[in-house]
Amino acid sequence: MPVTYTTFPASLTTAFAETELFARSQRSVFVGTPGSLLERRNASGFAFYAHQYYDALGNKRERYVAGPVGDVEADAIAKDFQAKIIDVNHIVKLIRMLGREGFQLADSRTFAVLAALHNHGLFAGGAQLIGSHAYGAILNSLGIRAAAYLTEDVDIARPAALTFARSRRESLLEVLRTSGIDFDEVPQLDSRKASSSYKQRGRSTFQVELLAPARGEDIGLTAVPELAAHAVTLPFLGYLLAQSQTTALLAREGCCPARIPIPERFAVHKLIVSEMRGRDAKARKDRGQAVVLCAALGDQHPGALRSAVDDLPPRAVKHFHKALESVRDSLEKLHPRSWEELITR
């Protein structure tokens, strides 16, 4: 399994840092394109401001912003809204350049979903983006170029009960629908069990799954009362989620802040999961992602992998050691420092 990653030049990592800073500064994120601010008038002659934009499915939308035109408060809201559009358009130009150079960009539907989650405080409350979309965000944050893994799944993890700055009543399904995408709960094969995933209505395979740590090594289901939802519980997920960071998820529409696991735990966890899955396509994808991150971390951040390995829960060690044999050829000679850190335990 060849390691294929290259390091972006400093000018591009600086540009990404600008988008990351901007993403973190956004209290709310547009769920579609930045669009434009228009003045409208209804049948009764009421003049107001409206936001016209394209949503995640490419449909032109329009929503009320403020009114009436000429009112001091409404005009101030419109002025701030227009400034936000200008700022996002500036960042979009930067993101477009980064995408051409090889930075990972999320698709429009994923961006809309994560924007909706951010706007409703889920990432601030502790939720984390995991899976291949988190992998792409980690590559960007490390400043490295590597092969992308296409996916139509958005995996959201809940380390513990989420905390919110204000009282809320929206269910996760209601939050997801604010993305402009019609989601439905996916029924379980066993009708007695609650759903933990949400699929775009129709023939689409795009879906969002809610996950949580398991207490043992068995996959189960747990209630998430603060989201009026249920989550699939996975073994060793608690290890992955124990340390996190906030970065920017990039898309052609803009950027969104998202909480993700730290790279070294993500890499080590991928190795564990790949061994538990066996030799199917998902296991190969997990190993591929783990190898790229291990190589980059060993080369650029000495000690990070060693720390992640030292923190492994005892029950995970046997799976981790078995997984190392499957990546030995990719790391031992080409990236000896990474390999040495991985085999310290």
Per-residue CA distances from 151 to 106, 282, 285 (Å): 10, 11, 11
The predicted structure's pLDDT at residue 3 = 56
DSSP 3-state percent helix, strand, coil across the chain (nearest 5): 45, 20, 35
Q: CA dist 241 to 19, 114, 213, 259, 279, Å?
A: 24, 18, 8, 10, 25
CA distance 20 to 16: 6
For the stretch 136-159, pLDDT in tens is: 999 999 999 998 777 889 999 999
pLDDT at 345: 66
| Mean pLDDT, the chain, whole residue set | 94
What is the separation of C-alpha 39 from the centre of its chain, rounded to a whole number of angstroms? Answer: 35
- pLDDT tens for each residue of 272-287: 999 987 777 888 899 9
CB 179 within 8 A of CB 38: no
Q: Beta-carbon neighbour count of residue 1 at 10 Å?
A: 14
Amino acid at 140: N
**Predicted pLDDT at 263:** 98
Q: What is the pLDDT averaged over residues 312-325?
A: 94
φ, ψ of residue 17 in degrees (nearest 5): -60, -35
Residue 232 in tokens: 């699939």
Expressed in angstroms, the distance from the first to the final Cα of the chain is 23
Give the C-alpha separation, 4 to 36, whole Å: 41
CA-derived radius of gyration, the chain: 22
Q: Which residues pair with 210 in a beta bridge?
A: 156
Confidence band for 102, pLDDT divided at 50, 70 and 90:
very high
Angle in degrees, CA 111, 238, 4, rounded to 5: 55
Burial class (CB in 10 A: 0-12, 13-18, 19+), 166: exposed
> Cβ distance 81 to 51 under 8 Å?
yes
Are 266 and 134 in contact by the 8 Å Cβ rule? The answer is yes
Distance CA 342, CA 26 (A): 38
Cα–Cα distances in angstroms (integers) from residue 329 to residues 4, 178, 266, 291, 332, in the given order: 14, 46, 20, 10, 6
Does the pLDDT of residue 48 top 90, yes or no?
A: yes
Give the Cα separation of 138 and 134 in Å (integer).
6
Domain residues of the chain, as ranges?
1-261, 262-345
Outline where the chain has alpha helix (H). 10-25, 72-101, 108-119, 132-142, 172-177, 237-241, 263-277, 281-300, 304-310, 314-331, 336-342
Q: What is the pLDDT at residue 222?
A: 95
Q: For 107-122, what is each residue's pLDDT tens digit?
A: 999 999 999 999 999 9
**Residue 265 scores a pLDDT above 80:** yes
